[in-house]
Amino acid sequence: MKPKLLIVDDDEEIRTQMKWALAQDYNVTLAEDNPSAMEAFRAIRPPVVLLDLGLPPQPANPEEGLRTLSEILNIESTTKVVIITGQGEKEVALRAIGAGAYDLLGKPVQVEELTILLRRCFYLARLEREYREMRQMLQGDSFEGMLAGSAPMQTVFDAIRKVAATEAPVLILGESGTGKEMASRAIHRRSARKEGPFVAINCSAIPESLLESELFGHEKGSFTGAQAQRKGRIETASGGTLFLDEIGDIPLPVQVKLLRFLQEKCIERVGGRQEIPIDTRVIAATNVDLKESMKKGTFREDLFYRLAVVQILLPPLRDRQTDIRLLAHSFLQRAAAQSSKSGITFDSEALRALNCHAWPGNVRELENRIRRAVIMAEGRRLTVKDLELAPPGAETHPTTLKEAREAVERQMVNQSLHRHNYKISPAAAELGVSRPTLYELMEKLGIAKEQAPQNAQEKL
């Protein structure tokens, strides 16, 4: 749609000429006096107004035009009002600017000068509107640091409010990058344990041989390298909340000890014999299907039911489309501040591309793309090229069997890597290939290590 422009002038010939000159680029509405101008302004709320100060009933006097300027700005203070007047008196110009006019043009108006000024006015008006919308969204839809206005996320927020008031163990389910740790922190901050520690551990990031010691601690001399007594994460979280991320990757022997802790609320350090009582709430999270893992015998059924007293499912970003723009503006504001690039924004095509992208890496992928785009962008408006996204409607279709096969392979490999947070072993197992074969596929399909989120690259 063309931007709305209101032209207020008592001279019919001038009104007609300006409309003829500007109608190609703007949706022009004409008015000849204060009553018709205010009626039109209330009806269409244009971001920019061209206003003649010499209006009836006294065209030779600027007072009626100044009154119209004041009334317009009282209704919408951000309107860009450009004064067009044949009165070249400096005093009148200063009064108009002092009353809130954006700029002045003298008659006769030069079309080229007017066109350049209008482009600047509409550009600034759009930036201000986007900024106001962003601020409103950020103020109205934040829940413990999580931004969302969509119905699926409101359901999640309701569940967090309810479960936070209890001591029940919680299992948070969701794809990689959906914000499971943020949800667990929200539960902690809203619980009676909020003054206690919040201790997070990524169970998949710690070698199996060290995980037991990391969770339960160890006594001096209990194994090679244990030169001093050390508390584990469970003990460190006493009085607060323990967050076990990627719980599905815990080996079976450690699952047995974790189940005992959940049942008896006490632990023994590795190499120790003393039982240590622990008062810790446990919140676990995973992006794998634990019920399928139970069928395969890689996850204990009794541990699952101990952990999953309450389950919260975080929806993928593709299922909460209305949140994409909200999150994008928030990440842009943060990245721009960190990079000292204030005033940077998205162009319209980039916003459409953000909505069209499938976001297999969810919120984490969105944040990483925007951070990288802000750093690399040369202009003040981020483009689809800056975001490394395909333009809306630019989807291409394979024309040969080889291209079709590679397109399907690329999609399946990418999705599996995202689901398993770029861990090669589980992704290869899911795809039914060996680790070397998956590496070969990634190289053939152009799926580079650099595409992984920064905190997952060491797992490739």
Q: Is residue 222 scored above 80 in pLDDT?
A: no
User: 111 or 400: which carries more pLDDT confidence?
Assistant: 111
Pure H helices in 76-221? 90-98, 111-140, 151-164, 180-189, 208-216
Whether the CA torsion 253, 256, 262, 265 is positive or negative: it is: negative
Domains with residue ranges and CATH for the chain = 4-138 (3.40.50.2300), 146-315 (3.40.50.300), 318-387 (1.10.8.60), 401-459 (1.10.10)
Residue 16 Cα to chain centre, angstroms: 46
Whether the CA torsion 30, 31, 37, 40 is positive or negative: it is: negative
Length of the chain measured in residues = 460
When pLDDT is cut at 50, 70 and 90, the band that residue 451 belongs to is very low
User: 60 or 455: which carries more pLDDT confidence?
Assistant: 60
Helix (H, G, I), strand (E, B) or coil at 429: helix
Q: Is residue 191 scored above 60 in pLDDT?
A: yes
Average pLDDT of the segment spanning 156-162? 94
| Alpha-carbon distances of 447 from 43, 442, 444, rounded to whole Å | 53, 5, 8
Q: Residue for token digits 């927020």? A: 157
When pLDDT is cut at 50, 70 and 90, the band that residue 381 belongs to is confident
Among 126-130, 186-190, 325-329, which stretch is predicted with the lowest mean pLDDT? Answer: 126-130
- Side chain identity at 109, as an amino acid letter? V
Helix (H, G, I), strand (E, B) or coil at 116: helix
Q: Is residue 196 scored above 50 in pLDDT?
A: yes
| CB crowding 242-259: b at 16 or more within 10 Å, else e | bbbbbbbbbeeebbebbb
Average pLDDT of the segment spanning 235-245? 94
Per-residue model confidence as pLDDT tens digits over 57-76: 988 888 898 999 999 999 98
Residue 307 pLDDT: 94
CB neighbourhood size of 271 (10 A) = 16
Whether the CA torsion 273, 274, 275, 278 is positive or negative: it is: negative
The CA R_g of the chain, rounded to the nearest whole Å, is: 31
Are 393 and 352 within 8 A, CB to CB? no
| Alpha-carbon distances of 276 from 169, 193, 195, 223, 264, rounded to whole Å | 20, 20, 22, 20, 10
Instruction: Supply angle C-alpha 412, 414, 420, rounded to 5.
Output: 100
Per-residue model confidence as pLDDT tens digits over 250-279: 999 999 999 999 999 999 888 888 889 999
Q: How far apart are CA 83 and CA 216, in angstroms?
A: 74
Whole-model pTM above 0.95?
no
Helix (H, G, I), strand (E, B) or coil at 52: strand
Q: Is residue 98 scored above 80 in pLDDT?
A: yes
Per-residue model confidence as pLDDT tens digits over 353-373: 898 888 888 999 999 999 999
SS3 content of the chain, % helix, strand, coil (to 5): 50, 15, 35
Percentage with pLDDT > 70 across the chain: 91
Q: How far apart are CA 442 and CA 457, in angstroms?
A: 14
User: 364 or 133: which carries more pLDDT confidence?
Assistant: 364
Of 228, 323, 218, residue with least CA distance to 272 = 218
Q: Is the peptide bond before 108 cis (omega within 30 degrees of 0)?
A: yes
Q: How far apart are CA 292 and CA 299, in angstroms?
A: 9
Q: Is residue 43 scored above 80 in pLDDT?
A: yes
Residue 3: DSSP 8-state: P
When pLDDT is cut at 50, 70 and 90, the band that residue 460 belongs to is very low
Q: Which two tokens stand for residue 296?
A: 């395969």
As a whole number, the mean pLDDT across the chain is 85
Q: How far apart are CA 456 and CA 383, in angstroms?
A: 26
Average pLDDT of the segment spanning 79-105? 81
Residue 459 pLDDT: 42
Name the maximum alpha-carbon separation found in the chain. Answer: 99
User: 422 or 24: which carries more pLDDT confidence?
Assistant: 24
